Amino acid sequence: MTAPPPKTRISAAQAFDRRDSAWWLDRVAMMLVFTGGISTILFIGAIFLFIATQGLDFAATRLAWSEFFGSIAWRPNGHPPQYGAVALIAGTASITGIAMFVVVPFSLGAAIYIGEFARGRRREWLKILIELLAAIPSVVWGVIGLHVIGPAMTQIFGVPSGLNLLNAGLILGLMAAPIMTTIAEDSLKAVPDAYREAAEALGANKWQVVWRVVLPHARPGLSAAVLLGVGRAFGETIAVLMASGHAINLPTSLFDPVRTLTATIAAELGETAKGDDHYQALFVLGVLLFGITFAINLTADSIVRGIRRKKA
Amino acid sequence: MASAKPQTATANPEAGPRWAIESKGLNLWYGTFQALRDVDLQIKHGIVTSLIGPSGCGKSTFLRSCNRINERLGYVSTTGTIQVLGQDIYGPDISPIQVRRQVGMVFQRPNPLPLSIRENVLFGQHIHRDDRIPRAEADQLVERALREVLLWDRVKDRLGRKATSLSLEEQQKLCIARLLPMRPEILLMDEPCSALDPEATRAVEELIWELRGKYSILIVTHNMAQARRASDECVFMLLGRVIEHARTEDMFVTPKKPETADYIEGRFG
């Protein structure tokens, strides 16, 4: 603990001082990158806070939760206004369910084909096409639902309206296909090739390799792919608004029109006065939606993380 | 055919085909690169034959042609023939799957499947038999195969554990064990000890020596000492050609070709 003479200490400090332009540049770059990284968290937090506070007053004092989670009647302009969200939740859930029923087999099939069977050019083309599918704006999907699938459905099934649960489910399924296929294919690609080689050397044919070795090993990644697809479907708005019929209804058949949480917010928010009960109720729906999609994505993400950790 | 295990060639020459593996005028290209040139080889039954030579000499390529696992790459073309147990394995009505049941392969890095130890041993049975194997028969197959590779006593209490949790030595032994229920005639080994430490290497070499006689074993090795102590015959390859094929002690004591002598004495490699 005997301090050296101050004179030598200062000169030593000067000798080790490396605060040149590269040092400063490094500092600035680090700050910029840090800001970028931290900003996503800030944005998410800010958005959630905004949504939550907009509806807070209403949710805390005037909203009857038993009605919100117990009634199908969503009549914000009625006398008295009613805020039952059950039909909306059911609408979102049923459309998502139909979409998954349609898209999961297709997406996983496509991923297996691209990842395990297709070779060379064909594989590259398929990957590009699927990514292109993701680039189609959702309003275009809405138009397809409105003017192609809708009329086709009335013709084929003879139902009064082609805008219904099945229509929206089909559209949503097609929209969720790219992300599901891409992530599923990634998780197939992550299966070490040594496993395939080992199985083939034991005389397994291509399908046996896929079924007995690749798919079991890729299962967590495939479930993450499905969950991310669900998240995508849950949050989709405009295409669903256009194709679903937008009627408050507990669906009992595939051809019933339904209404979703997202479409309700999109359609009604413009008509409300900022801060009134209707406005705030829509924000409560928003919080509900945010919570559900957040939970789905978090689950998917933790599955993917779990895979990475196991591999490391 | 699978039931009659061949003795050594000299002991019983007229039983079955003359050679375990015989290649004639074998040429092989990866795209435009020629990896094998006019390879004529006769591998005898029931002994250990090692393939030696510097990196890129074609020894692994030859090995991987013998069960057609090379074809996974998609850009491989061959001319000439390889007969395994008298059958032309590149013949028009032969499928690689049939070949691979007769010809087991062990890889450089132990590659047990991400299944249980038991499932690894039974994998071949599950994919080649349509009917489910009775439990008792399956148990027997597992025990016999694991005993044969000297692994039974070490793993018998944890057959349900993931095979990837074993040590590398145990994994490699398991990779040999899982070939045995299919009753292969020939075992191909592609540098089976190169990922193992000296102790494990010794154990696996001992195992290979133990299996000698029951199977015809063709082993690729980088390790001259290993070829010398663990093989009956030795094939030296260079730039895609077979330079010399002789009994191991002859090759290491009195090599006939100058290239062989140079390689064995470490003048290149």
In this complex, the residue of A195, A205, A217 whose CB is nearest that of residue B97 is A205
B111 close to A (CB below 8 A): yes
Chain A residue with minimal CA distance to B178?
Answer: A202
User: What pLDDT is attached to residue B96?
Assistant: 87
User: Å from A199 to nearest chain B CA?
Assistant: 8
Q: Is A41 exposed, middle or buried (0-12, 13-18, 19+ CB in 10 A)?
A: exposed
- Average pLDDT of span B50-58: 90
B112 close to A (CB below 8 A): yes
- Average pLDDT of span A182-197: 92
| Nearby residues of A261 by Cβ (< 8 Å), 6 or more positions away | A85, A88, A89, A91, A92, A285, A288, A289
Q: Which residue type sits at B157?
A: D
Report d(CA B261, CA B264) in Å as an integer.
5
- Chain B CB contacts of A311 under 8 Å are none
The 10s digit of each residue's pLDDT in B93-110 is: 888 888 898 899 999 999
User: What pLDDT is attached to residue B21?
Assistant: 92
The 10s digit of each residue's pLDDT in A39-68 is: 999 998 999 899 889 888 888 888 888 888
User: What pLDDT is attached to residue B4?
Assistant: 44
| Nearby residues of B44 by Cβ (< 8 Å), 6 or more positions away | B8, B9, B19, B20, B216, B232, B233
Q: Do A202 and B175 touch (CB under 8 A)?
A: no
**Tokens describing residue B54:** 């510097």
Report whether B193 contacts B106 (CB < 8 A). Answer: no
B178 close to A (CB below 8 A): yes
**Tokens describing residue B42:** 């006769």
B:238-257 residues touching chain A, CB 8 A cutoff: none
User: What pLDDT is attached to residue B1?
Assistant: 39
B89 close to A (CB below 8 A): no
Residue A8 has pLDDT above 70, yes or no: no
User: What pLDDT is attached to residue B6?
Assistant: 44
Report d(CA A115, CA A195) in Å as an integer.
15
B129 close to A (CB below 8 A): no
- Residue A119 — very low, low, confident or very high, per pLDDT cuts 50/70/90? confident
**Tokens describing residue B144:** 């016999």
Fold (CATH) for A74-311:
MetI-like fold (1.10.3720)
Q: Is A15 exposed, middle or buried (0-12, 13-18, 19+ CB in 10 A)?
A: exposed
For A205-209, B58-62, B73-77, B265-269, which range has the lowest pLDDT when averaged over its residues? Answer: B265-269
User: What pLDDT is attached to residue A139?
Assistant: 93
DSSP A113: I
- Residue B18 — very low, low, confident or very high, per pLDDT cuts 50/70/90? confident
Task: Please state the φ and ψ torsions of residue B49, each to the nearest 5 degrees.
Answer: -115, 130
> What is the H or E stretch that residue B83 is in?
strand B76-84
Chain A residue with minimal CA distance to B108?
Answer: A194
* Beta strands A82-83 and B233-238, pairing class: unpaired
Length of chain B (residues): 269
Q: Do B111 and A198 touch (CB under 8 A)?
A: yes
Report d(CA A264, CA A130) in Å as an integer.
30
Identify which has the larger pLDDT, B131 or B72: B72
Q: Do B69 and A201 touch (CB under 8 A)?
A: yes
User: What pLDDT is attached to residue A7?
Assistant: 55
User: What pLDDT is attached to residue B13?
Assistant: 46
Chain B residue with minimal CA distance to A193?
Answer: B111
- Residue B72 — very low, low, confident or very high, per pLDDT cuts 50/70/90? confident
Residue with tokens 């099939």: A109
CA–centroid distance for B147 within its chain? 19
Task: Please state the φ and ψ torsions of residue B83, each to the nearest 5 degrees.
Answer: -105, 125
- Comparing CA positions, the residue from B104, B246, B73, B241 lying closest to residue B177 is B104
Q: Do B97 and A199 touch (CB under 8 A)?
A: no
Q: What is the mean pLDDT of chain B?
A: 87
The 10s digit of each residue's pLDDT in A131-150 is: 898 889 999 999 999 999 99
Report whether B127 contacts A208 (CB < 8 A). Answer: yes
Q: Do A201 and B109 touch (CB under 8 A)?
A: no
- Chain B CB contacts of A205 under 8 Å are 97, 127
The 10s digit of each residue's pLDDT in B117-128 is: 999 999 988 888
A:182-201 residues touching chain B, CB 8 A cutoff: 194-201
Q: Do B127 and A119 touch (CB under 8 A)?
A: no
In this complex, the residue of A194, A208, A217 whose CB is nearest that of residue B127 is A208
User: What pLDDT is attached to residue B213?
Assistant: 87
B91 three-state secondary structure: coil
User: Å from B266 to nearest chain A CA?
Assistant: 32
- Chain B CB contacts of A195 under 8 Å are 111, 113-114
**What are the domain boundaries of chain B?**
21-111+184-264
Report d(CA A171, CA A133) in Å as an integer.
12
In this complex, the residue of A195, A203, A213 whose CB is nearest that of residue B124 is A203
User: What pLDDT is attached to residue B7?
Assistant: 42
- Average pLDDT of span B203-219: 90
B101 close to A (CB below 8 A): yes
- Residue A310 — very low, low, confident or very high, per pLDDT cuts 50/70/90? low
Report whether B36 contacts B23 (CB < 8 A). Answer: no
Report d(CA A27, CA A19) in Å as an integer.
10
DSSP B69: G
Q: What is the mean pLDDT of chain A?
A: 88
Residue A6 has pLDDT above 60, yes or no: no
B:31-60 residues touching chain A, CB 8 A cutoff: none
CA–centroid distance for A172 within its chain? 12
Report d(CA A172, CA A141) in Å as an integer.
8
- Residue A79 — very low, low, confident or very high, per pLDDT cuts 50/70/90? confident
Q: Distance between terminal CA atoms of chain B?
A: 41
A208 close to B (CB below 8 A): yes
Chain A residue with minimal CA distance to B127?
Answer: A204
- Chain A CB contacts of B115 under 8 Å are 216
Residue B2 has pLDDT above 50, yes or no: no
Length of chain A (residues): 312
Residue with tokens 């939760």: A65
Return the percentage of chain A with pLDDT > 90, whole number: 53
- Comparing CA positions, the residue from A219, A246, A211, A241 lying closest to residue A304 is A219
- Residue B3 — very low, low, confident or very high, per pLDDT cuts 50/70/90? very low
Report d(CA B12, CA A173) in Å as an integer.
67
Return the percentage of chain A with pLDDT > 70, whole number: 94
Fold (CATH) for B21-111+184-264:
Rossmann fold (3.40.50)
Cβ atoms < 10 Å from Cβ of A93: 16
